[in-house]
Amino acid sequence: MIIRFSLAILAALALSGAAAPGQDEASEKPLLLGNVKVYMKAGRIEAPGVIAIDRGVVEYMICSRGGKDYESVVSLDLVPSDLNTALLLIGLKAGGGVDIVGDSRVPAGDGVVIYVEWVDEKTQKKARVRGERMITNVQKKGHMREIAWIYTGGRFARDKETGKDIYLSDVVRVVAATYRDPDALLNNPLETGIDDVFYEADPAVVPHPGTKVTVVFEPASAQETRNSSGKDEDVPPGAKPQG
């Protein structure tokens, strides 16, 4: 079940974070949802975190702190439901389509582009890469194809003791899954999403564990979202890698 919020609540949050008339996007004051910054006018979300691992098998591009850090490249300091609200606020729609781990169906929903930013320890200059560049496909011996991660939205479960609905992403703390996970907000749409044997963190790109990072989430174009399926090839026919 995809998490849904009251339209009135979302409207109030959007109004509270909206830029003043005539305000330039570059000086836009973000709406804060916990540690999540939402730039409504720019359509951008930023969240702080650290590098969790820089080598070894990964099943997640991103988890949240205290979750599956041991198999995630980045661990964010946030509550997943805050990020989910942020994605809704910038106009994205979750589509679901992932009911079990490794679901063979292609995930449904709007596309999201992920960037990871940090300050290089040696040069003291800002580094910025697409999230997929931090991951190696061990079978093709190259980086993961640049994709739009599909906003599936996560799901609820009923607490037997309290009778209340629980947002499972907040419990298991998963955000962006390379190996499809129904509790992740974002899922890998490529054919490699059906198994956990394809991906490892790339130590040639990923800074050492503990490095502070900012993860940026932006809406993908309709074309990039459409192209983000099929085999994990470097560039799908008719598409160009971005950023």
Q: Which of 2-6, 7-11, 27-31, 158-162 has the highest mean pLDDT?
A: 27-31
User: Mean of the pLDDT values across residues 147-167?
Assistant: 90
Residue 111 lies in a domain: yes
pLDDT band at 161 (very low <50, low <70, confident <90, very high): confident
* Cβ–Cβ under 8 Å, residues 161 and 170: no
Q: Which residue range is the domain that position 59 belongs to?
A: 46-227
What are the φ and ψ backbone dihedral angles of 28, each rounded to 5 degrees? -60, 130
- What is the reported pLDDT for 6? 46
Residues 6+ positions from 124 with CB-CB distance below 8 Å: none
CA distance 119 to 163: 46
> What confidence tier does 160 reach under pLDDT thresholds 50, 70, 90?
confident
**pLDDT tens string 17-43:** 444 444 455 688 999 999 999 999 999
**pLDDT interval class at 12 (50, 70, 90):** very low
Whether 235 maps to a domain, the answer reads no
Cα separation, 221 vs 140, whole angstroms: 26
Q: Which of 35, 37, 57, 33 is nearest to 45 (CA)?
A: 37
The per-residue pLDDT of the chain, averaged, comes to 88
> Which positions ≥6 away from 221 have C-beta within 8 Å?
111, 148
* pLDDT score of 214: 98
The pLDDT score that the predictor gives to residue 234 is 59
Residue 73 lies in a domain: yes
Beta-bridge mates of residue 164? none
- 174 domain residue, yes or no: yes
**Does the residue 168 lie in any domain?**
yes
**Mean pLDDT, rounded, for 219-225:** 96
Mean pLDDT of 87-104: 96
* Domain-embedded: residue 30: no
Please indicate, yes or no, if residue 34 is contained in any of the structural domains. no
pTM: 0.87
Structural domain count, the chain: 1
Query: Is 198 inside a domain boundary?
Result: yes
Angle (CA) 150-88-65 rounded to 5° is 70
Amino acid in position 230: G
Question: Dihedral through CA 61, CA 64, CA 65, CA 68, nearest 10?
Answer: -60
Of the listed ranges 10-19, 56-65, 105-114, 127-136, the least confidently predicted one is: 10-19
Residues 223-239 as b/e (b if ≥16 CB within 10 A, e otherwise) read: ebbebbbeebeeebeee
- Note whether 141 and 102 are within 8 A (CB): no
- Between 74 and 12, the more confident residue is 74
What mean pLDDT comes out for the span 47-70? 97
Q: What is the crossing angle of helices 7-17 and 80-89, to 10°?
A: 80
What is the structure's pLDDT at 162? 84
Half-sphere exposure of 86 (CA within 13 A, CB side): 29
DSSP-assigned states of every residue in 50-111: EE--SSEE-SEEEEETTSSGGGEEEEESS-HHHHHHHHHHTT--B-----STT-SSPP-B-E
